[in-house]
A and B are shown apart, each in its own frame.
Chain A
Amino acid sequence: MDELILELKNEIIETLNLEDMQPDDIDTDAPLFGEGLGLDSIDALELIVLMEKNYGIKLRDASKGKEIFKSVRVMADYIEKNRTK
């Protein structure tokens, strides 16, 4: 699980162009959206693409992202349970 969390943090930094950020700068249990990382609605859509591309998880309903992107840990948990690659 810790491995997946680190992998996810690296992917988030790369995909969302969070230049100057290190995996350690992202709190595993803090909300991904709202305060902190300064992410917006386009970032949320890009994370949905990331889930499909890297883990084969297709989210039909964009609003479901809200629950999954609560934190990196929640996201990793969801991926672990639903991944197809």
Chain B
Amino acid sequence: MIKSWVKITDKSVTLNGQMMDFPSYGNALLTEIYRSKVKDYPKFFKMDALCKLGFLGSELVIQDENTNRFVPREDRAVILFNRSGSLNADVNFQATLQPDDFFPSPALFVYTLPNIITGEIAIRNKYLGETSFYVLEKKDSETIASQIVASFQDNITKSVIGGWVDCVDENNFEAVMFLCYRDEENKLHEEIKNILSK
């Protein structure tokens, strides 16, 4: 069962189908969401654009859940997908490797793995459960839904922060993220496909 979902693009933010009012675009939009909805996590500014996007998506769906946060728990997984991997971070790190200006940046290199965003969400929320990142050729809702449903084969996992979080560059991105619970009626697969098509 999907509890809440969010769609963030470089142009707009929609929470549970309701458009949120942010006048900014692109990278500035991410900063604006942070300033208005999070405020107290300066580590945000150290993140690369993919992590900022995934972090904000997770914040919006978790805040919407409205339960006691930041208590260590193993029953919640973070399972995300995209097409671009860590491309934006890769390009930024590669830029520090110019033969005539060669200063490889450790702070950029650590973001050259797309699963870092799953770790950022786990750290922020003290989630000790599964964290997984998958890269697909395209936003294939059938594959995403089937992998998330299959992740409930882990008996401890009761809920998943899941979805799509893709960042081509700082001003060109899309996330569709949701919080879903194990369901016994096999409806989750269709629900996920439905949300991803929005």
Q: Which residues of A contact B (CB under 8 A)?
A: 15-20, 38, 42-43, 45-46, 49, 52-53
Closest chain-A Cβ to B113's Cβ sits at a distance in Å of 13
Q: Known contacts A16-B46, A38-B43, A42-B106; can you find 6 more A-B pairs with CB under 8 A?
A: A16-B107, A19-B42, A19-B45, A42-B107, A45-B106, A46-B106
A79 and B103 CA atoms in complex are apart in Å by: 18
Contacts of A15 in B (CB 8 A): 107
A49 and B45 CA atoms in complex are apart in Å by: 19
A42 and B45 CA atoms in complex are apart in Å by: 14
Chain B interface SS verdict (over half): helix
A15 and B45 CA atoms in complex are apart in Å by: 11
A38 and B107 CA atoms in complex are apart in Å by: 15
Contacts of A46 in B (CB 8 A): 105-107
Partner of B103, one of A16, A17, A19, A52: A52
Contacts of B110 in A (CB 8 A): 42
Closest B residue by C-beta to A44: B106
A16 and B105 CA atoms in complex are apart in Å by: 11
Instruction: Name the interface size band of chain B.
Output: 10 to 19
Contact B103 A20 (CB under 8 A): no
Closest chain-B Cβ to A38's Cβ sits at a distance in Å of 7
In the complex, the number of residue pairs spanning A and B with C-beta atoms less than 8 Å apart equals 28
A16 and B106 CA atoms in complex are apart in Å by: 11
Q: Which residues of B contact A (CB under 8 A)?
A: 42-43, 45-46, 103-107, 110
A18 and B42 CA atoms in complex are apart in Å by: 8
Partner of A17, one of B45, B104, B106: B45
Contacts of B42 in A (CB 8 A): 18-20, 38
A20 and B45 CA atoms in complex are apart in Å by: 10
Closest chain-B Cβ to A82's Cβ sits at a distance in Å of 17
Contacts of A53 in B (CB 8 A): 103
Contact B105 A49 (CB under 8 A): yes
A53 and B104 CA atoms in complex are apart in Å by: 10
Closest A residue by C-beta to B111: A42
